[in-house]
Amino acid sequence: MLTINPVRSRPVLTSLERLIGPQRSDRLRKAAAEIQDQLRGGTLWHVNSTPTGGGVAEMLRTLLPLYDELGVRSRWAVVSGDDAFFRITKRLGVALYGSDGDGGPLGPAERDAYLSALAPAADQFVDHVDRRDVVILHDHQTAGMAPLLADRVASVHWRCHVGVDEPTDASERGWEFLADLLDAADSLIFSVADHVPARLRHRPVRIQPPFISPFDAKNVDLPADAVRACLAQCGLDPNGEPARSPLSVETAAGGVRLLSTPTVISDGGRQLGEPLITQVSRWDRLKDMAGVLTAVTDHVPVGHLALVGPDPDAIADDVEQGFWYADCLDRWRKLPPAQRRRVSLVSLPMADQTENALLVNAIQRASDVVVQKSLAEGFGLTVAEAMWKSRVVVGSAVGGIRAQITDGVDGYLLTDPADLRGLGRIITNTLSGAVDRQEIGARAHQRVRDDFLPDREVTTTASMLAPERMVTR
């Protein structure tokens, strides 16, 4: 099944140009004109597997309105499937991250089921495209559409946001599942150079990291009273202010109504004067929320830990979230009372994306340390978001996080993601005053400003579509 996802347009171009300055603004407008020339009146399509939740959906909600302001016709299509399809794609995604996941097979039967689920979406999509159009397919959920679309549009490009730093048997099985389907793509786009598998290195490949939007509710500056109101909504206000719903919060991105109530598991909550340590991510084994919980309760003597994720039932393309949320909840319940009091599990509602984004923004801004202890990572958007807010980020030295953080300069890297004592030592050192958090945060903000804003996406896409880079079918 396929749906065309509408995107509510909000002008961002003027604010972006003010932020990036005249030279980058000029390159941005020239790149947009080049994309228009290559489309010859056609449409630039992005296709993924969920309209909400996850980094791809967040990027597209910023990118398409920006294209609209720049005069580039773009649209967003979302493919969906049944539980069997998403079980296979979850297994496949975990394999591409180098893990066996649920241990299930990725053989001919699974591939037939995967392609059968995508075929109706491709058939529907064909009714919306013509031969001038350019299609960018995102991640493993959509890769099987490449051969079905190759002769129907001007070009098809596949973008991979996942991967593993060193190949494993599991990742090789994942690439075996996908590789020949990608023969139909004109080019491949990876977030991280090390994630390009050997079997695809002969193909046209571009390295294109994702970006954040500094103007949406997730990243816009917030006044102190808005931060406090959101913290109260999430049970993290150290002053013990009660949550109020409905609540209106004014931001530079406009007013936001907080109508939903997050699910908060806590035993006393954050105390006055207690530093806030936060990880924001999906409830996913590879994000290792449970490892963060153990590292902080065992190896960090002060501070309140907030493990913040989406409502585990709200993201259709990730069928394992409920399991890993339940795992964290079980570990929390088994903690001694004194340690249990130091941890809050916060599940944010997903019904309203702006509301969800505002809550994440406020929690990150209130945090003294933001953690991203992934076991594997394509590109850590939550890392870039927290860096933009001038927070000190401690991330695992895996995947794109290594390209985002320069250790000891604009954040800190944990060499071994399994080293819980090491993570505790870095957090403790950061909270103790032994490092200049303000200076680290300022450099983190500048790194995002330089490399991870939306204009980079437009200029690299223009380069990808340049005639000399196109593959003749």
Task: Tell how far CA 127 is from the center of its chain.
Answer: 30
Give domain status of residue 26, yes or no: yes
Question: pLDDT (tens digit, 9 = 90+) per residue, 262-311?
Answer: 999 999 889 999 999 999 999 999 999 999 999 999 999 999 999 999 99
Hey, which residues does 47 pair with through a beta bridge? 77, 137
Q: What is the C-alpha separation between 333 and 326, in angstroms, rounded? A: 10
Asked if 109 and 41 sit in the same domain, the reply is: yes
Question: pLDDT (tens digit, 9 = 90+) per residue, 17-47?
Answer: 999 999 999 999 999 999 999 999 999 999 9
3-12, 27-36, 117-126, 155-164: the lowest-pLDDT one: 3-12
| Residue 471 pLDDT grade (very low, low, confident, very high; cuts 50, 70, 90) | very low
Q: Which of 401, 399, 376 is nearest to 97 (CA)?
A: 376
Asked if 164 and 228 sit in the same domain, the reply is: no
Question: pLDDT (tens digit, 9 = 90+) per residue, 374-405?
Answer: 999 989 999 999 999 999 999 999 999 999 99
Based on the number of CB atoms within 10 Å of its own CB, is 336 exposed (0-12), middle (13-18) or buried (19 or more)?
A: exposed
Asked if 457 and 401 sit in the same domain, the reply is: no
Asked if 126 and 228 sit in the same domain, the reply is: no
CA distances from residue 110 to 49, 105, 183, 409, 466 in whole angstroms, order as listed: 18, 7, 20, 45, 37
| Whole-number percent of the chain with pLDDT over 90 | 82
What does the pLDDT read at residue 194? Answer: 93
| Residue 472 pLDDT grade (very low, low, confident, very high; cuts 50, 70, 90) | very low
- Mean pLDDT of all residues in 53-81: 93
Q: Which of 216, 390, 213, 357 is nearest to 280 (CA)?
A: 357
Give domain status of residue 218, yes or no: no
Asked if 427 and 338 sit in the same domain, the reply is: yes
> Residue 340 sits in a domain of what CATH number?
3.40.50.2000
Q: Look at the chain and report how many structural domains it folds into.
A: 2
- Mean pLDDT, the chain, as a whole number? 93
Contacts of 24-31 with CB under 8 Å at 24 or more apart are 24/455, 25/455, 27/455, 27/459, 28/70, 28/455, 28/458, 28/459, 29/70, 30/462, 31/458, 31/459, 31/461, 31/462, 31/463
Q: What is the C-alpha separation between 403 and 393, in angstroms, rounded? A: 13
Asked if 397 and 434 sit in the same domain, the reply is: yes
Question: pLDDT (tens digit, 9 = 90+) per residue, 200-221?
Answer: 999 999 999 999 999 989 999 9
Q: What is the C-alpha separation between 192 and 334, in angstroms, rounded? A: 38
- Mean pLDDT of all residues in 447-453: 97
257 or 205, which is more confident? 205
**Which stretches of 97-215 are DSSP H helices?**
108-126, 146-149, 169-178
Asked if 265 and 360 sit in the same domain, the reply is: yes
Asked if 154 and 80 sit in the same domain, the reply is: yes
112-116, 237-241, 390-394, 467-471: the lowest-pLDDT one: 467-471
| Residue 65 pLDDT grade (very low, low, confident, very high; cuts 50, 70, 90) | very high
Give domain status of residue 84, yes or no: yes
Asked if 107 and 17 sit in the same domain, the reply is: yes
- Mean pLDDT of all residues in 87-94: 95
CB 314 within 8 A of CB 202: no
| Residue 316 pLDDT grade (very low, low, confident, very high; cuts 50, 70, 90) | low
326 or 471, which is more confident? 326
Asked if 41 and 159 sit in the same domain, the reply is: yes
Give domain status of residue 63, yes or no: yes
Q: How do 392-396 and 74-79 pair as beta strands?
A: unpaired
What does the pLDDT read at residue 307? Answer: 98
* Full domain range(s) for residue 134: 2-211+453-469
> Three-state DSSP class for 249?
strand
Give domain status of residue 217, yes or no: no
Asked if 70 and 167 sit in the same domain, the reply is: yes
Asked if 113 and 254 sit in the same domain, the reply is: no
What does the pLDDT read at residue 317? Answer: 63
- Mean pLDDT of all residues in 4-25: 91
138-147, 332-341, 351-360: the lowest-pLDDT one: 351-360
Six token digits for residue 130: 């013509």
Give domain status of residue 216, yes or no: no
- Longest Cα–Cα distance of the chain, Å, equals 65
Q: How do 44-48 and 247-251 pair as beta strands?
A: unpaired
Give domain status of residue 343, yes or no: yes
Q: What is the C-alpha separation between 228 and 237, in angstroms, rounded? A: 6
Give domain status of residue 219, yes or no: no
Q: What is the C-alpha separation between 353 and 396, in angstroms, rounded? A: 27
> Three-state DSSP class for 386?
helix
